[in-house]
């Protein structure tokens, strides 16, 4: 898919990977409708690309918010690329997560993504070729202590992407599932950064993740897993999960220690 020919709806566009995707898409000549609850750093970026970058404030957890996005996409002339990058992370043991926090995480990470994709499919199918990109996580393939709720949502997103790809196999719409590893974004608080440092976990820069995603779009890939040895762990977890069980059990004391260093609202 040629980036210069893309008319993209991009959710989660105000920070981290989403903001980098918006900037790099515009630099490649694409038209972008950036969707987020807050404009944030998009304001400065819109000044650089006033003709090709638009912004729509929307809460994708609501039907009204998703309808606003659909209307804005139609006003743009339709879309042939949907990038579902909106999401939230919670580093906490399951019993530390408040009920409202858990509901909000699932509503945004999986509910909003499924609902917006469903609503946009007729628009996407109207093109000779279109693409849905779902930004998941390595934790969509490896269940990791301290991220139970996040893993649940990303496992669901991976399954959704696989099923949707097969469901749309005889249509002009393809599906790309992207699984970044740990990335330096504002979603990762001090406790996460400290844990990653203690475990010597490598973290990617958002601009590098965005670049890899756009390359995967251009190459018409169906899956993209980022990072080494994370890609190896995904395969190992699928074939020999008990080995991963034993490795992660050794990390439990550190995970529990750092999970107790932050507040967990109920």
Mind telling me the catalytic residues? 150
- Best CA proximity match to 60, nearest among 11, 129, 95: 11
**Nearest Cα to 29, choosing from 55, 56, 1?**
1
DSSP state of 191: H
DSSP state at residue 92: B
Dihedral of alpha carbons 162, 56, 27, 187, sign = negative
124-125-126 Cα angle (round to 5)? 90
What CA–CA distances, in Å, run from 113 to 27, 36, 170?
26, 13, 22
Distance CA 121, CA 173 (A): 8
C-alpha to C-alpha distance for 167 and 39, rounded to whole angstroms = 34
Residues 132 and 82: their CA atoms lie apart, in Å, by 5
Q: At what angle do helices 16-27 and 206-218 cross, to 10 degrees?
A: 50
């Amino acid at each position: 898919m040629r980036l210069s020919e893309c008319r993209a709806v991009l959710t989660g566009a105000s920070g981290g990977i989403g903001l980098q995707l918006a900037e790099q898409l515009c630099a490649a000549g694409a038209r972008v409708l950036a969707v987020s609850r807050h404009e944030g750093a998009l304001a400065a970026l819109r000044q650089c690309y006033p003709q090709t970058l638009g912004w729509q404030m929307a809460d994708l957890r609501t039907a009204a918010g998703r309808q606003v996005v659909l209307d804005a996409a139609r006003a743009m002339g339709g879309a042939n690329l949907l990038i579902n990058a909106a999401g939230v992370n919670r580093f906490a043991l399951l019993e530390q997560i408040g009920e409202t926090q858990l509901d909000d995480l699932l509503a945004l990470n999986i509910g909003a993504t499924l609902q917006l994709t469903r609503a946009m499919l007729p628009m996407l199918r109207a093109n000779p070729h279109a693409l849905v990109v779902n930004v998941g996580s390595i934790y969509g393939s490896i269940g990791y202590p301290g991220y139970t709720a996040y893993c649940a949502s990303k496992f669901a997103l991976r399954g959704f992407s696989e099923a949707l790809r097969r469901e749309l196999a005889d249509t002009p719409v393809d599906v790309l599932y992207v699984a970044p590893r740990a990335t330096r974004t504002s979603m990762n608080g001090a406790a996460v950064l400290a844990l990653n440092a203690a475990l010597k976990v490598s973290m990617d820069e958002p601009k590098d993740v965005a670049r890899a995603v756009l390359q995967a779009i251009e190459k018409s890939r169906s899956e993209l897993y980022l990072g080494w040895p994370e890609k190896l762990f995904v395969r190992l977890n699928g074939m020999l999960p008990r080995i991963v069980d034993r490795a992660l059990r050794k990390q439990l004391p550190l995970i529990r220690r750092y999970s107790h260093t932050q507040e967990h609202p109920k």
